[in-house]
Structure 1
Amino acid sequence: MLLSQRRRLFLFTQMAAVGLALVACNEQSAQKKAGADAKPEVSAVTLHPQSVTITAEVPGRTAASLIAEVRPQVGGIIRARNFREGSEVNAGDVLYEIDPSAYQAAFDSAVAGLQRAEGAVPSAQAKVDRYQGLTSQSVVSKQDLDDALSTLAQARADVASAKAALETARINLDYTRIRAPISGRIDASSVTVGALVTAEQTTALATINQLDPINVDATQSSANLLAVRRAISEGRIKIVGNNVSVNLRLEDGSKYPLPGTFEFSTAAVSQTLGTVTARATFPNPDRLLLPGMYVRATIEEGIAPNSFLVPQRAVTRDAKGQPLALFVSSDGKVQRRTLSVQRSVGNSWLVAEGITDGDRVIVEGLQRVRDGQDVKVDDVVIDDATGQINQAADTSAAPVKEAANTPVSK
Structure 2
Amino acid sequence: MKQTTTWIVVTLAGFWGLAGCGDKKEQQQQQAPPPTPVSVYAASRQNASYYDELPATITAVNEVEIRPQVAGYITGIFFTEGQRVRKGQKLYTIDQQQYQAGLDQAVANLNAAKANLVRAQKDADRYHTLAQQDAVARQLVDNADATLASAQQQVAAAQANVRSVSTNLRYATIFAPFDGTIGFSQVKLGTAVSTGQTILNTISSDNPIAADIAVDESQIMRFTRMPKNTGGRGDSTLMLVLPDGSLYPYAGKVGLIDRAVDPQTGTLRVRLFFPNPDYALKAGLTVNVRIRNQTPGPQLVIPYRAVVEQMSEYFVYVVGDSSRAVQKKITLGARLADKVIVKDGLLDSDKVITEGTQKLRDGAPIRVVTTGDTTKQKPL
Report the TM-score when normalising by structure 2.
0.71
2:354 is matched with 363
> Are 1:167 and 2:171 matched, yes or no?
no
Counterpart amino acid of 2:339?
S
Once the two structures are superposed, residues 261-304 of structure 1 have per-residue CA deviations (whole angstroms, 9 ceiling, x without a partner) of 33335734474x7765543333323232223333222235x543
Give the alignment of 1:10-21 within 5 angstroms.
Answer: none
Contact 1:215 1:281 in 2 (8 A): yes
Residues 316 and 325 in structure 1, CA contact (< 8 A), matched pair in contact too: yes
The yes-or-no answer on 1:217 pairing with 2:212 is yes
Distance, in Å, in 1 between the alignment partners of 2:178 and 2:184 is 16
Q: Are 2:273 and 1:281 equivalent residues in the alignment?
A: yes
In structure 1, the residue matched to 2:376 is 392
Q: Deviations over 1:6-58 (max 9, x none)?
A: xxxxxxxxxxxxxxxxxxxxxx9xx99xx99x9977432441231535x4312
Range moving further from structure 2, 366-375 or 93-102: 366-375
Match for 1:267 among 255, 260, 274? Answer: 260
* Residue of structure 1 in register with 2:335 after alignment: 344
2:199 aligned residue (183, 200, 204): 204
Q: Is 1:63 aligned to residue 59 of structure 2?
A: yes
Aligned counterparts of 1:45 and 1:70: Cα–Cα separation in 2:
64
Q: Which of the numbers 271, 279, 304 marks the counterpart of 1:312?
A: 304
Q: Secondary structure at the match of 1:65?
A: coil
Give the Cα separation in 2 of the matches to 1:370 and 1:215: 53
Q: Deviations over 1:182-212 (max 9, x none)?
A: 3332233233323333333x33222323333
Alignment of structure 1 residues 5-404 onto 2, 5 Å:
42-50=39-47, 52-53=49-50, 55-200=51-196, 202-219=197-214, 225-228=216-219, 239-242=225-228, 245-262=237-254, 263-265=256-258, 267-269=260-262, 271=264, 277-300=269-292, 303-306=294-297, 307-317=299-309, 321-326=312-317, 337-352=328-343, 361-364=352-355, 379-381=371-373, 392=376
Instruction: Check whether the contact 1:266–1:278 (CA below 8 A) recurs between aligned residues.
Output: no
Cα deviations by residue, 1:132-155 (Å, 9 ceiling, x for unpaired): 454455444444333333222222
The total of aligned residue pairs comes to 342
Provide the rounded CA distance (Å) in 2 between the counterparts of 1:238 and 1:178.
41
Q: What per-residue deviation string (whole Å, max 9, x for no partner) do you get for residues 109-167 of structure 1? A: 22222222233334433444454454455444444333333222222222221211111
Encode CA deviations 1:311-340: one digit per residue, 9 max, x unaligned. Answer: 22233346x6543345569xx998765433
Query: Structure 1 counterpart of 2:158, which letter?
Result: A
Alpha-carbon offset, residue 360 of structure 1: 5.3
Question: CA contact under 8 A between 2:77 and 2:189: conserved in structure 1?
Answer: yes
Q: CA deviation at 1:305?
A: 0.5
Instruction: Give the TM-score normalised by the residue count of structure 1.
Output: 0.67
Contact 1:57/1:298 (<8 A) preserved:
yes
Identical amino acids, percent of aligned pairs:
31
Unaligned runs of 5+ in 2: 1-25, 231-236
